[in-house]
Amino acid sequence: MRAGALAVSLSMLPATVHAESLRAALESAYQNNPNIMSALLNVKATAENIALAKSGKLPSLGLSSSIGGSWEQPQGGEFNTAASFSTGLNYSQTLFDNYKTDAEIEQARAGTEVAKYALRNAEQNVLLAVVQAYYAVIRDTQLVQLRSDNMAFFDAQVSSSEDRLRLGEGTKIDVSQAKTRQVAAVALYRSAIASLQTSQASYERWVGHKPKNLSSDFNFGKSLPTSIDGAIASAQERHPALLSARAAIRVAQAGSDAASASFGPTLSLIGAIDATTSYSSKLGGTSSALGGSAKLSLSIPIYSGGALSASLRKANIQQIQSEVDALSARDEIKESVISAWSTLQNSTSQIDSAQAAVGSSQLVVDGTIQERDVGQKTTLDVLNAQAELTTARESLITARSTKMIAAFSLLAASGKLSPEVLGLKVAMHSADGYIANVEDVWAELRALSDD
């Protein structure tokens, strides 16, 4: 059964032929991850609200046409037919609406800013998820190898105990204890394989392909904050989630202005030009007519069943809520900065401690085996020493992975986990060109490009 488990684990280990650095994995995820693509499309869709809001200030033109005919057969008279064709051009435009449309345009623009910052936040989340999956694969691959070696060690101890028993130098208890540790080692080994499979699945989800010979090295340069105060200041200045929350305040403020403007008057210009051509057999010919009309329409709300007041109260409450949400986002981001900073500092200490423990534990194992061979220690002493060595090695592997993840988490919490800061060779996702086209569009007469 152990041979079968080993075969499974070897198939889980990445091939050494094709190496993939963390930078390459991040670039692949940034270019292909659907979460980022969805966030980018959301920016473009949200930008269309700008055009929808600006249409409230622009004229509306419509062309209408109709054609029809009729007949009659009077009693004792001649059979008559008639036909008519008319076409008209209708015009309407809001000249003044108490600046409600202006507020709605501002609201749409602020909403687009929210979507843009949401895109940057999605990019951060995806890049951090890639880092977590990347180092999880490295950690679990090393744990599989370590537990495989540990399993081989206990196999050797079982054989040694059985040999000592046959020579009369050992006991059945020694053999039983060795076999117990052997079975436990196999269980831990299988658990490591399961964890590695999970990590590889997560990697494939975020990066888009299976892991291949990953490397734990990464050069941060000068991107990491040098102090916790600097990290917090960076987060307050550039974290996309906090910037999004601040833009959401603008959305709510503009919404409140629009609701307040609804109480004011609305002045509209309405015009029409009509051309009609008719034919009548009774009159024996055709006739044509051209006409037009224009009027100004003023409407002032007096009572709307409480709808306007309710809309204003709701908008004011939402404005207050957006400010509270921004405070909550600020506190949450500050917490994440402190947590990442503390984890990074602690993981450094854990690595130093684990390295010292591994060195001393290895000496203890070697010495205990020698003392057991001369009868001064028991097999149980050897098994316990090996268990402590394995624990120290696993702690070292985990601490190294935790340190790298904590470093990237600190970058993310500081608002600096971006392709630009990491130096990724990718084109930044942006909808600025699309937004510019939306701002410039006029009455559906200009087609939008896919920029």
149 has pLDDT over 80: yes
DSSP output for 386-406? HHHHHHHHHHHHHHHHHHHHH
* Phi, psi of 267, deg, nearest 5: -115, 125
Angle at 135 between CA 231 and CA 39, to 5 degrees: 65
pLDDT band at 38 (very low <50, low <70, confident <90, very high): very high
Query: Which residue's entry shows tokens 């987060």?
Result: 235
- Is 450 part of any domain? no
Helix residue ranges, H only, 374-450 = 379-413, 419-422, 432-440
242 closest CA partner among 154, 121, 357, 131: 121
Instruction: Round to whole Å and give the CA distance between 392 and 398.
Output: 10
Q: Give this prediction's pTM.
A: 0.84
Instruction: Round to whole Å and give the CA distance between 155 and 6.
Output: 14
- Is 419 part of any domain? yes
- Is 371 part of any domain? yes
Helix residue ranges, H only, 171-282 = 172-207, 228-238, 240-261
253 has pLDDT over 80: yes
DSSP state of 427: P
270 has pLDDT over 80: yes
- Is 304 part of any domain? no
Please report, rounded to a whole number, the percentage of residues in the chain having pLDDT higher than 90. Answer: 62
Find the domain containing 259 and state its range: 2-59+99-264+310-440
- Is 393 part of any domain? yes
The answer to whether 424 and 415 are in contact (CB under 8 A) is: no
- Is 66 part of any domain? no
pLDDT band at 16 (very low <50, low <70, confident <90, very high): very low
31-63 burial: b if 16+ Cβ within 10 Å, else e: eebeebeebbebbbebbbbbbebbbeeeeeeee
Residues 6+ apart with CB under 8 A from 360: none
Instruction: Round to whole Å and give the CA distance between 393 and 399.
Output: 10
The model's pLDDT over 337-394, given as tens digits with 9 standing for 90+, comes to: 999 999 999 998 999 998 998 888 889 888 888 887 777 777 778 778 888 888 889 8
Strand partners, 327: none
442 has pLDDT over 90: no
Instruction: Round to whole Å and give the CA distance between 141 and 203.
Output: 13
The predicted structure's pLDDT at residue 449: 53
How many independent structural domains does the chain possess?
1
Q: Which two tokens stand for residue 314?
A: 């709701």
15 closest CA partner among 214, 192, 208, 204: 214
pLDDT band at 33 (very low <50, low <70, confident <90, very high): very high
Domain harbouring 189, CATH code: 1.20.1600.10
- Is 12 part of any domain? yes
Sheet holding 80-96, edge to edge: 60-72, 80-96, 266-280, 285-299
- Is 90 part of any domain? no
Query: Which residue's entry shows tokens 């608002």?
Result: 415
The model's pLDDT over 180-227, given as tens digits with 9 standing for 90+, comes to: 888 988 999 999 999 999 999 999 999 999 998 898 788 888 889 999
Mean pLDDT on 251-278: 94
